[in-house]
Amino acid sequence: MNPRLLQYLIIISGIAVPAVYYIFTSFIPALRTPVPGAAIILALLIPPFGILYYYIHRNSEKTLCDMEKLQEQVKWINLILDNSEEMIFVLNEYSQIISFNLAVTSILGITKDDIIGKPFRAVIHNEYASKLRLNELMLLKLKDVFSGSEAEMICSCKNTISNEIFTVTYKMIPIFSGNELDNIIVIGRTMHIDSLTRNYLVRETSEYRLDNDLSQIILFCHRLTRNLEDRVPQNISILMQIALEEILINSIEHGNLEIGYEKKTELKMRNENYWELLIRECNQDYLANRKINVSYYLDNDRVTYSIEDEGNGFNWEQYLENSNDISGNIIKNYHGMGLQIAKNSFEISFNEKGNKITLTKYFNESGE
């Protein structure tokens, strides 16, 4: 029975019983005695309360059945979580870790005391990456999640026991209750070179044409370096990925969007997300359609990346000559280190205009 209909029936009964009793006793004086009157009231009350009892009994059985189903679902969910090879985190609305599954302890070597209550970025290894840039990226991804969209990011993580560093792709899924964000589910999967690539890859080449989208750079640079695992040490591969990120960001900032160092410094000093500021204030209509052309070549001897923007170029000789000046204005202005990082990982060459850079890494027999 519909619950609302049952409510109406009980209310009507509560009004009807006294009315019917009054009518009966008004026309039949013999019913005014206590016994017949009580019998009438009892007779009038039996149907609605019988219906009420039936409804409560039926729904109690349904509730018990639902509870048993829920307990069974919870059991299976816990079984899946505890035996999943993927890391699963539960975050609150402030992106703090409130729970995680056994795979997190197995892969990262951490316990609840290590990270419960801490922000999610606590599980990300950023020994080589810029802490400021990592925070900017995290805020950018969380903004998408807070608005109701799923987000994906790739970063490095470290096992606290073995000190092994590996790449993880994280998918962030918002869980809403009505219009309010209740939790964020984060699913992490470690990424390794596949066996076919390891055993059979001789060479590969590819070309890409990118928009001025800073949010995709880390994901893209992982794609460019994912097959280096057996060719260079892991720490070198990570540094090469970071160098590519810096060069691509420079190509967007200083190349396509024509951001000078003074403007970049001014944006960096504001108390806002730099990447959002950059796109909002500097991605003007006549610049928005510019592209970044990237080509990639890998064989058993070397890897080469060519990155060309559609900007005006720059005096690259000046910045390559300042390789020892990393304690002055380069650090003070929060930028200018991209080329220096790239120089430590690659052999570098430019075209004459300065809007195309070629990065080459040669592999020797030791893999260094």
**What pLDDT is recorded for position 128?**
60
Phi, psi of 57 (to 5 degrees): -65, -45
More confident position, 280 or 219: 219
What's the mean per-residue pLDDT of the chain?
A: 77
The count of structural domains within the chain is 3
| Residue, of 335 and 164, whose pLDDT is higher | 164
Q: Is residue 89 domain-shared with residue 72, that is, in the same domain?
A: no
* Residue 30 confidence (pLDDT): 53
In terms of domains, do 207 and 286 share one? yes
What is the pLDDT averaged over residues 81-87? 75
Cβ atoms < 10 Å from Cβ of 299: 14
**Gap between the Cα atoms of 169 and 123, Å rounded:** 13
Contacts (Cβ under 8 Å, ≥6 apart) of 362: 301, 302, 347
> Apex CA 120: angle with CA 164 and CA 221, to 5°?
60
The pLDDT value given to residue 333: 41
Residues 224 and 184 placed together within one structural domain of the fold = no
Half-sphere exposure of 49 (CA within 13 A, CB side): 8
Nearest in space to 244 (alpha carbons), one of 141, 134, 345: 345
pLDDT at 304: 97
| Structure tokens that stand for 111 in this block | 């316990």
User: How much of the chain exceeds pLDDT 90, in percent?
Assistant: 22
Residues 116 and 241 placed together within one structural domain of the fold: no
pLDDT over threshold 60, residue 28: no
Contacts of 29 (CB under 8 A, 6+ apart): none
Whether the CB-CB separation of 91 and 97 falls below 8 Å is answered with yes
* DSSP structural state of residue 166: E
Structure tokens belonging to residue 123: 């599980």
Quickly state the pLDDT bin for 326 (edges 50, 70, 90). Answer: very low
Query: Quick one: average pLDDT of 104-124?
Result: 90
- DSSP letters for 95-139: SBEEEE-HHHHHHH---HHHHTTSBGGGGS--SSS-HHHHHHHHH
pLDDT of 328 reads 45
Give the CA distances from residue 202 to residues 197, 221, 298, 299, in Å, rounded to whole numbers and listed in that order: 9, 21, 8, 6
260-283 pLDDT, tens digit each: 777 777 877 777 777 777 777 776
Q: What is the pLDDT of residues 46-69, one digit of tens each?
A: 566 666 656 666 666 666 666 666
Rounded distance, CA 43 to CA 142, Å? 64
Residue 203 DSSP label: -
For 250, the domain range is 195-362
In this structure, the answer to whether residues 205 and 308 fall within a common structural domain is: yes
State mean pLDDT over 145-167.
87
Question: Is residue 368 domain-resident?
Answer: no
Confidence check: pLDDT of 72 > 80: no
CA distance 32 to 81: 70
pLDDT at 73 (0 to 100):
54
Percentage of the chain exceeding pLDDT 70:
68
pLDDT tier at 334 (50, 70, 90 boundaries)? very low
**Final residue belonging to a domain, choices 146, 162, 191:** 191
**Helix, coil or strand: residue 19:** helix
Residues 217 and 347 in one domain: yes
In the predicted structure, residue 224 carries a pLDDT above the cut 70? yes
Confidence of residue 330 (pLDDT cuts 50, 70, 90): very low
Using an 8 Å Cβ cutoff, are 21 and 43 in contact?
no
Residues 182, 245, single domain; the answer is: no
Residue 346, number of CB atoms within 10 A of its CB: 22
Last residue of a domain, one of 191, 226, 260: 191
Placement of tokens 């409130």 in the chain: 98
Q: Are 67 and 152 part of one and the same domain?
A: no
Q: Measuring CA to CA, which residue among 48, 38, 39, 37 is closest to residue 15?
A: 48
Residue 74 confidence (pLDDT): 53
* 37 and 173 co-located in one domain: no
Inform me whether the pLDDT recorded for 167 exceeds 90.
no
Q: Is the pLDDT of residue 248 over 90?
A: yes
- pLDDT for position 259: 82
pLDDT of residue 329: 47
Q: What single letter denotes the amino acid at residue 165?
A: I
**Using CA atoms, how far apart are residues 151 and 143, in angstroms rounded to an integer?**
9
